[in-house]
Amino acid sequence: MKVDELQLQLHLQQHKQKEREETQMCRKLRMGVSDLSQPISSDDDACDKVEEEDLFVPPLNFAMVDNGIFRSGFPEPSNFTFLQSLGLRSIIYLCPEPYPETNMEFLKSNGIKLYQFGIEGHKEPFVNIPDDTIREALKVVLDARNRPVLIHCKRGKHRTGCLVGCFRKLQKWCLSSVFDEYQRFAAAKARVSDQRFVELFDISSLKHLPIPFSSSKR
């Protein structure tokens, strides 16, 4: 056999091996987001055929605050499968608007309790964050019976950032770390008034409650 023919055969074998590896990788990726009780497609283009309901899509600005405590922007129906995976017991909603019917149906079907603390979403300089409302919301967060819990507002930036910031003070984080976290989510929309509120928030009335300290002190 000529050298050119040997090289061509070797090239074809390498190409087939690469195709097999890519196919196996697609199948592994599909298993990571699919119901494992269902058969896995053997098509080479399996990755392109993953159905939307198989995907785990977190809400906007989603993050873990502490064990059993999460934060995000407003959950959309496309996020419901992901939220189911968290095993939530409750949701803390920080906006005054009524919760959408679709979201309420999701909560009911999954046994999730809704705690609504309506805080108006005014822009500076008209921001008014009520201390008492944040304090009551923190009591819900600190009650282990409500966890896992998701805290959210509209974008997961300002109202959620203020509540989480006050929670960090209870965890004895230094203010610079509290503000770093707030700014990471608020980004260009960070508000001096929010950070001022967190700085001045009095946690003394909540110190008798058990505080989760799984996060390292900052």
Q: Which residues are catalytic?
A: 153
Output the CA angle 63-64-68, nearest 5 degrees.
145
DSSP string, 47-114: GGG--GGG---PPTT-EEEETTEEEESPPPGGGHHHHHHHT-SEEEE--SSPPPHHHHHHHHHTTPEE
The Cα 51–Cα 207 span in angstroms is 47
One-letter amino acid for residue 150 of the chain = L
Nearest to 94 by CA among 204, 194, 205, 206: 194
Do residues 184 and 218 lie in contact, with contact meaning Cβ atoms separated by under 8 Å? no
